[in-house]
Structure 1
Amino acid sequence: MHSDEFKADAVAAASQPGMSMASVALARGINANLLRRWVREAELPPARVLAKSVPAATTFVPVQLPEPATPTGEIHIEVRRGSMTICVAWPMGAAAECAGWMRELLR
């Protein structure tokens, strides 16, 4: 909105001994807070003035996930009813079916 030359002139005028920022801002038709910001920015070392960051380009990167591991081993169940004992070995990969069988058995 304001040229760099205009800003530099306003900052230089505000930096003169005995000058108030409010009077310099009023004489140039700008807000005193804006002039204070320009003075602050002018006092910063050049390395501290941050440039607006440019967003990095994003790209889609496909990720290959390993296949879920199939459970190995067996489920061992021993059921005793009175004098009768049932021993069952069920594959771990079919645990849901084993649970259904157990529900039916225990009804």
Structure 2
Amino acid sequence: MRHATIMMGVLSAALLTSTPAWVQQAPAITSTTVELPSGDQLFPGGSDADAINNNCLACHSADMVLNQPALPKAAWESEVGKMIKTYRAPIDESDVPAIVDYLVKTKGKT
């Protein structure tokens, strides 16, 4: 009987002892440096670009806008309208014609 009690104790201890689980090694975390182009470029064109520089650079870089495909005037009007209505861009309505004219002049398609 004593032998059975010892065996039960050994068996219980073996079952209750935690066994190491298969553990994956944690991935190494490293830092990465990313060099982004400076965002301080203005739209070229002097005073003709004042409206777009004063309104659009808060959300867009000049480079991003100037790399868009050429679009007809109606499409640029629609895009500027979308920025105001959908994205709530705080653009004064009096600046819209100058912004559209600038976009048509620099990225317009006939």
Structure (1 or 2) with the greater strand fraction: 1
TM-score by length of 2: 0.26
Which protein, 1 or 2, shows the higher relative CO under an 8 Å CA cutoff with sep ≥ 6? 2
Relative to total residues, which structure has the larger helix share, 1 or 2?
Answer: 2
**Whose Rg is larger?**
1
Tell me the TM-score normalized by structure 1.
0.26
